[in-house]
């Protein structure tokens, strides 16, 4: 929704300002310029990126429209779920959570939190490290190093889409110039025409430069930045999980372990101690 609002603001500001300065909007409609700029930018995008990145970029359109899913409500669910699994392990022993981590889709605890349970990466991350903790094969320092390696790789993969779109944004002004130069070439071929005809062709050529810059800085660049913010929000979510797991490995009680995780969150996403406590009671 935020993406659509932003697009409307950009279009409205540019078109509105042009019209108010007595410009004719019809003169900006140059479909051949769009074909040159858009086609060349897309071709360069295909050349520069492997198939998996191209697929991820197109798959990111949905999340861009919806916005980030990592909000206070989801964090309260996460901290509540971590508290319950830690509480069960503390009361009944670590082996008691073996079925939960081996079959998370059938877990009574995880099934209380369908949004988290449906996220394959989150459940895999939690289950894998709980499995290691149950096995007792690593101390907290070794476990943290292993988590950092995985999270660094995961974050790098998450940023591939934003980097790909940033490269397209950087190239669009150049493709706008290409379209403008081609327009001038056409104009030079009609130099014997009337001043009105030559002016129309020069104007059409300049629209190419305008479109390249507008698409770069008004749309594609901001979309790339939005994807970068979403990747950072995902990284923060996994960092919260990591801190909770390490706290419980270090022997802290379930309540304190999730408090460690709560303290890692940004202020706009962090539930208060009372909010989390009430949420925990509601899940019982």
pLDDT digit string (tens) for 207-232?
A: 889 999 999 999 999 999 999 999 99
pLDDT band, residue 159 (cuts 50/70/90): very high
Mean pLDDT of 38-49: 95
Q: How far is the C-alpha of 1 from the C-alpha of 9, rounded, in Å?
A: 13
pLDDT digit string (tens) for 60-88?
A: 888 888 888 899 999 999 999 999 999 99
pLDDT at position 62, please?
85
Ranking 159-163, 172-176, 279-283 by mean pLDDT, the lowest is: 279-283
Integer Rg of the chain from CA: 26
Q: How far is the C-alpha of 108 from the C-alpha of 84, rounded, in Å?
A: 10
pLDDT digit string (tens) for 178-198?
A: 999 988 888 888 777 777 778
pLDDT at position 221, please?
94
Tokens of 199: 């002016």
pLDDT band, residue 127 (cuts 50/70/90): very high
Mean pLDDT of 24-34: 86
With pLDDT > 90 as the criterion, what percentage of the chain qualifies?
Answer: 54
The DSSP string of 196-225 is: HHHHHHHHHHHHHHHHHHHIIIIIIHHHHH
pLDDT at position 138, please?
79
With pLDDT > 70 as the criterion, what percentage of the chain qualifies?
Answer: 99
Domain ranges for the chain: 30-284
Sign of CA dihedral 172, 174, 179, 183: positive
Q: Which residue has the higher pLDDT, 279 or 109?
A: 109
Mean pLDDT of 244-251: 92
């Amino acid at each position: 929704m935020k993406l659509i609002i932003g697009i409307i603001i950009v279009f409205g500001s540019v078109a509105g300002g042009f019209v108010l300065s007595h410009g004719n909007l019809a003169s900006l409609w140059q479909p051949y310029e769009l074909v040159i700029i858009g086609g060349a930018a897309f071709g360069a995008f295909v050349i520069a990126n492997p198939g998996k990145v191209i697929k991820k970029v197109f798959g990111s359109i949905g999340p861009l429209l919806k916005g980030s899913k990592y909000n206070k409500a989801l964090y309260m669910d996460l901290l509540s779920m971590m508290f319950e699994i830690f509480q069960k392990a503390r009361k009944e022993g670590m082996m008691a959570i073996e079925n939960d981590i081996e079959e998370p889709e059938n877990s009574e605890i995880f099934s209380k939190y369908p949004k988290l349970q449906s996220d394959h990466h989150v459940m895999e991350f939690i289950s894998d490290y709980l499995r290691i903790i149950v096995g007792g094969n690593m101390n907290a320092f070794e476990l943290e190093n292993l988590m950092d390696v995985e999270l660094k790789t995961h974050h790098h993969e998450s940023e591939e889409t934003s980097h790909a779109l940033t490269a397209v944004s950087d190239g669009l002004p150049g493709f706008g110039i290409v379209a403008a130069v081609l327009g001038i070439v056409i104009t030079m071929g009609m130099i014997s025409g009337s001043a009105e005809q030559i002016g129309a062709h020069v104007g059409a050529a300049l629209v190419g430069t305008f479109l390249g810059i507008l698409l770069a800085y008004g749309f594609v660049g901001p979309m790339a930045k939005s994807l970068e913010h979403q990747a950072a929000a995902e990284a923060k979510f996994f960092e919260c999980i990591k801190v909770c797991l390490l706290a419980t490995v270090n022997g802290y009680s379930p309540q304190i372990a999730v408090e460690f995780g709560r303290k890692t969150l940004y202020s706009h996403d962090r539930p208060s101690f009372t909010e989390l406590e009430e949420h925990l009671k509601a899940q019982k």
